[in-house]
Structure formats: C-alpha cells, structure tokens
Amino acid sequence: MAGLVLARVCGVPFVLMHPAPCFRMPNMSMSRLSALSGFQTLFIGPGQCMFPPPVVLPPCTSVQSVSPPAESTTSTSIYRVIGPKVSFCSKCGGPTEHCIPDGEERLRAICKSCGIVHYQNPKMVVGCVVAHEDKVLLCRRSIEPSYGLWTLPAGYLELGESAAEGAVRETWEEAIAAVDIEAPFALLDIPRIGLSYILFRAKLRTLDFSPGIESLDCALFHIDDIPFDQVAFSSVTVALQLYVEDYKAGRFKVHHGVLDKRMGSSPSDPSGYTFRDHISN
C-alpha cells in the first residue's frame, strides 16, 4: 500500500498519495512516483479548488482508505487522476462510481448497476523509421495536432493486428509507401497522456511514395538535414535523435525511455518534455 486515500473534493474523485518513496518500489524517484500517481496529475494545495461546487454523490462502498505513514511530512499533497472519464457502463448503460476496489490500489470506474469494473489502460502508437540509404522518410501532417509539421508514419494499433502489421499499415496510409520491417527500434512511453510509441526500423521496397490523406507531403531527409525545428511530436524528435546517433555509431540498438511532458506544453514544443530512464540493448 502506498498511502493511498480516496477523497471527493468538489464532487470530483481524488487520490491522495503519500509522495514519499513507496515501499513496494523502494528505488522509485519522486518523478517516477509522480508519474505513477496518475494520468495527467494535478497538484492541488490545501484550500485550493479548481472545480465546480461540491456535488453529493452516493457513498462508494468498496473504497480503501489507507492512512499515510506517520513519518510523512507532505501527506496533504493531492493528485487528481484524470484518465478518460467513464461515467456510464458500456455493457448495461448504468452510472458508474469511481472507487478503489478491494485488493487493488488504483481508482477504477465501477458500474453501480451491474458491478463491472471498467479498467482503463495506455494505448499503443505504432510506426516506422523508414530508411533509404542515409535518409529517413518523414510525412508533413495535414491534420491537427501539429498541422504542417513533420512526423514519422505512425498511428494507433488496432485490434486484430500485430505491432509490426500496424506499423506497415500506418506507413502505407500516411506515405503510400510499401516497406519491409527490419527490427524493433524503440519503445517510448508518455505516461502523462497514456501513450506508448512502438517504432520499428523499416526499409522502402521501392522509391514510390506519396502523401496519404493525413499528409501534405512526404520526403526523404538526409540524417544530417532532419528538420528538428519542425517536428510534430516530442516522441518523434527523440526517436529521430536516437536513430541518428545509432546510424553514426554504426550499430542500431533497441531503445526504451520515458517522455515526461510538461503540463500545458504543445505536442511539438522542443522544451515541453524531458526524456528519462533511457535504456537500450
């Protein structure tokens, strides 16, 4: 137990989290703990309220209320868990309440009518770093967010396909380019927005490519000429930086790391994130 206390503040369910290192993950840093405390967390000090007046909600019978350890000096820190809101049950249509079920430690949406727990999990974005000789294929976005900026072909993994199949499909859709997957390249997580990028290295089959419906343009950029000041997403910036480093070092690794997005920063803001916990094989 990590010192979790469920509370309702202004009618909004909150998780009060003891921010001292948690005994279940004894090596966890404050930044990791902050990331773990929830999806798009907000720090709210005592007496502050950013939300509408209180609404009386029926009691949540299965709430766990665990007091923070006595040594805590910051036990009134409140983090709001904002995952995509589930107000009604997708199976029966009944209203939900947000509780920490018995035996768990996380806030879940539970149907008051049929009792189903609606788990919410991160989503995967799959894509390719498509290479041709010493160049990579980028697409200029024709849609928001980041209209007009350059990105790797990538999109949400769909049910029924593998990550590599999804990456091939997205490359076809965004760059009308047929590619062969060569190897995994990077797993880049953005916990604040519940996304994990899974990127592969791939090769163009032919030099035929053209913008798909979500692209204004597609082009091959030499690795020394990548327009880093016009990249659509920080995850793409990091992936391209890692690719260039590996290319110049003469060996491609497989990378994992975490992007901590700064609250309120745009997806393409070059100073809107920090990249941490980078590992590779």
207-266 binders of a copy of itself (CB under 8 A): 213, 252-256, 258
Task: Tell the smallest beta-carbon distance from residue 231 to a copy of itself (Å).
Answer: 22
Task: Pick left, alpha or beta for residue 264 (phi over 0 → left; psi -120 to 50 → alpha; otherwise beta).
Answer: left
Q: Is 114 in the site for a copy of itself (CB under 8 A)?
A: no
Among 7, 30, 147, 161, which residue interacts with a copy of itself (rule: CB under 8 A)? 161
Among 9, 36, 66, 216, which residue interacts with a copy of itself (rule: CB under 8 A)? 36
What span, in angstroms and rounded, lies between the C-alpha atoms of 177 and 220? 12
Q: List the one residue out of 16, 214, 24 whose CA is nearest residue 127.
A: 214
Restricted to residues 67-106, the positions that interact with a copy of itself (CB under 8 A) are 81, 83, 85-95, 103, 106
What span, in angstroms and rounded, lies between the C-alpha atoms of 186 and 27? 24
What span, in angstroms and rounded, lies between the C-alpha atoms of 191 and 10? 26
Q: Which is nearer to a copy of itself, 21 or 148 (CB)?
A: 21
β-bridge partners, 28: none
Q: Which is nearer to a copy of itself, 13 or 184 (CB)?
A: 184
Q: In angstroms, how far is the first alpha carbon of the chain from the final one?
A: 33
Q: Amino acid letter at 17?
A: M
Contact segment (CB under 8 A) with a copy of itself among 29-37, 67-75, 219-227, 232-240 equals 29-37
Q: Which is nearer to a copy of itself, 131 or 181 (CB)?
A: 181
Task: Tell the smallest beta-carbon distance from residue 279 to a copy of itself (Å).
Answer: 6
Q: Which residue has the tokens 């999990």?
A: 121
Among 19, 68, 184, 267, which residue interacts with a copy of itself (rule: CB under 8 A)? 184
Q: Exposed, middle or buried: residue 275 (CB in 10 Å: 0-12, 13-18, 19+)?
A: middle
Q: Which is nearer to a copy of itself, 38 or 127 (CB)?
A: 38
